[in-house]
Amino acid sequence: MKRFYILEAIIVAVFVIGFVVGRLSKSEEGYFKNYYERAAKLYQKAVELDTPPASYEEPERLKKVLALYRKVFDKYEDSPYADDALFNIASRIPPGEEDAFILFRKLIRKYPDSDYADDALYSIAMGHFEKKNYDRALREFTRLIKDYPTSPLVDESKFNRAICYYGLGDWDKALEELNKFEEEYRTSDLLPAVMYYRGMVYYNKREYDKALAEFQNVIDTGSEKYAPKAQFQIGMIHFNNKEYDEAIQA
24-38 per-position pLDDT tens digit: 455 566 666 799 999
Task: Return d(Cα 146, Cα 244) in angstroms, integer.
Answer: 48
The architecture CATH gives domain 189-250: Alpha Horseshoe (1.25)
Q: Is the pLDDT of residue 3 over 90?
A: no
Q: Indicate the domain borders of the chain.
A: 36-92, 108-177, 189-250
Statement: the pTM of the whole predicted model exceeds 0.75: yes
pLDDT digits (tens, 9 = 90+) for 194-220: 999 999 999 999 999 999 999 999 999
Q: Within 205-241, where are the H helices?
A: 208-221, 227-240
pLDDT digits (tens, 9 = 90+) for 91-131: 999 888 999 999 999 999 999 999 999 999 999 999 999 99
Q: Which amino acid is at 228?
A: P
Contact of 16 with 8, CB cutoff 8 Å: no
Report the pLDDT value the prediction gives residue 240, as an integer from 0 to 100.
Answer: 78
Average pLDDT of the residues in 162-175: 98
Question: Do 108-177 and 189-250 agree at the fold level?
Answer: yes
Q: Is the pLDDT of residue 23 over 50?
A: no
> In terms of CATH, what superfamily is 108-177?
Tetratricopeptide repeat domain (1.25.40.10)
Average pLDDT of the residues in 44-51: 96
Residues ≥6 apart with Cβ < 8 Å to 78: 35
Average pLDDT of the residues in 126-139: 97
Report the pLDDT value the prediction gives residue 239, as an integer from 0 to 100.
Answer: 77
